[in-house]
Structure formats: C-alpha cells, structure tokens
Amino acid sequence: MWRANAKGMRHRYTVGLSAAARGDFSQSREADGIPEPRALRDSADQPDPAKHPVPDAASETSFRPLGAILGWVFPGLGHIASGNAKRGIMAMAGVLLLFFGGLLVGGVDCVDRTEDRLWFFGQVCCGPIAIAADKVNEMQLKSGAAAPLIETASYPGQPKVFVSPFKGIAHANEFGTLFVFLAGLLNICVLLDAAVRPPSSDGPSSGRRAVDGGAA
C-alpha cells in the first residue's frame, strides 16, 4: 500500500494479506528501495494543462476572413496582424522576391491587364502592388510620359503601332510575366494560411507541439 507523509512524499508499506482483509494496518512496515509503480510515475510525468493548453479543434479549423483580406492588402500582413510575425515576414519576403524579380527581369510592362489579361488575373492576387504596377505601365510607358513612343513595323493596311522604348520584349518579358504570376499564386497560399492559422501559433510553447514536447 501507499501512504503520504507530512511532507507530501509517498512511501510504500507492506502488510500481511490476512491483516489487510481485516482492515488492520497497525503492523504494516515501510518497504524501502521498492520502486514506485509505473502508473504513478507516468501520471507524475504528464504535462500541466495550465502550462501547455491543448487548442480546441474547432478553433484550429475556423476561417478568419480578416486574415485573408490583410494578406491580399500586403503579402504577409495577415500573419503579422494575428501574432505570427516570423511566418509573415518569411512569406512577405518570398512573395515580394518573386514579384520585384519579375519586374526587374521583364520590366514594369510585364503587368498589363489589357494585353495580358489572363496573366493579370493571377498577378493581381499579389494585392494592390500589382494594380499599382499596371497603373505605372499605363500612365508612364503606354502614354509616352517616360519617353516618346516609337513606331513599330505593322502589316500593310493595318493601323500604325507605337510602343515605349522601355517596353520589355522577347523572353525577358515572358519570364517577368511568369514570375509575377507565380508571386500571385504563392500569395494565395499565404493568405489562405493566414485565414485558418491560429493566432500567435509561431511560438514553441503553442499548440500540440508544446504538449508533445512536454510529454517527451
């Protein structure tokens, strides 16, 4: 049997079977050196629920539209607003690297909602920065504000075509268009993650990871 002393420590005692049947424990004696039962050891090793709370399954799967909206306004902003700053900064770096890398390779005209409408549907998922790039292309390059437009070759009988000397051409413009498009697809994943990820879940003591670590 087990008894607790004044200090709260557990000690094991032995007693005869006949005396135990009568309820007489006056002749019990302490058995030193006998290991504590495994069940009691396992219960003592269990993590404290107050220190390592297990998140509710419903809260993990809830959809928060505000996180998705903020993630579209600017890549990674949805995570930062919900307390997952580290994840948000890394997501922001990935999306912006693809986006501005595409503009660097293909020029600002690789975002064009008029000539490349289908590509623009994916590019606009980057948020207002894609709309701003399209506006710069329209107001600076296509209007001739950045530099006088030059005439390009056209088929006989067709209207004359004038383009900006800064217009991206050939494979460079195609790669730039693709990079910005991929940035938009990546940001879709980022903003959806921001909408379903629990707030402040970047820390090592959050969620089931902390419980598993405490149990180990």
Please state, in angstroms and as integers, the Cα–Cα distance from residue 214 to each residue in 34, 57, 83, 201, following that order.
27, 20, 23, 17
DSSP 145-190: SSS--EEE---TTSPPEEE-TT---HHHHHHHHHHHHHHHHHHHHH
Average pLDDT over residues 3-17: 51
User: pTM of the predicted model, to two decimals?
Assistant: 0.63
Residues 107 and 27 in one domain: no
Percent of the chain surpassing pLDDT 70: 65
Q: Give pLDDT, residue 43.
A: 56
Residues 29 and 127 in one domain: no
Count of domains forming the chain: 2
Question: Between vectors from CA 89 to CA 87 and to CA 91, what angle results, nearest 5°?
Answer: 70
In a domain, 45, yes or no: no
The mean-pLDDT minimum among 29-38, 80-89, 134-143, 177-186 falls in 29-38
Phi, psi of 175 (to 5 degrees): -65, -40
Q: Give pLDDT, residue 37.
A: 55
30: Cβ contacts below 8 Å, ≥ 6 apart: 11, 12, 13, 14
Please state, in angstroms and as integers, the Cα–Cα distance from residue 145 to each residue in 53, 93, 135, 137, following that order.
60, 32, 13, 10
In a domain, 48, yes or no: no
Confidence band for 207, pLDDT divided at 50, 70 and 90: very low
Residues 28 and 68 in one domain: no
174: Cβ contacts below 8 Å, ≥ 6 apart: 106
Confidence band for 26, pLDDT divided at 50, 70 and 90: low
66-120 tens-digit pLDDT: 999 999 999 999 999 999 999 999 999 999 999 999 999 998 999 999 989 999 9
In a domain, 57, yes or no: no
Average pLDDT over residues 9-21: 54
Q: What is the CA radius of gyration of the chain?
A: 33
36-61 tens-digit pLDDT: 555 555 555 565 655 555 555 555 56
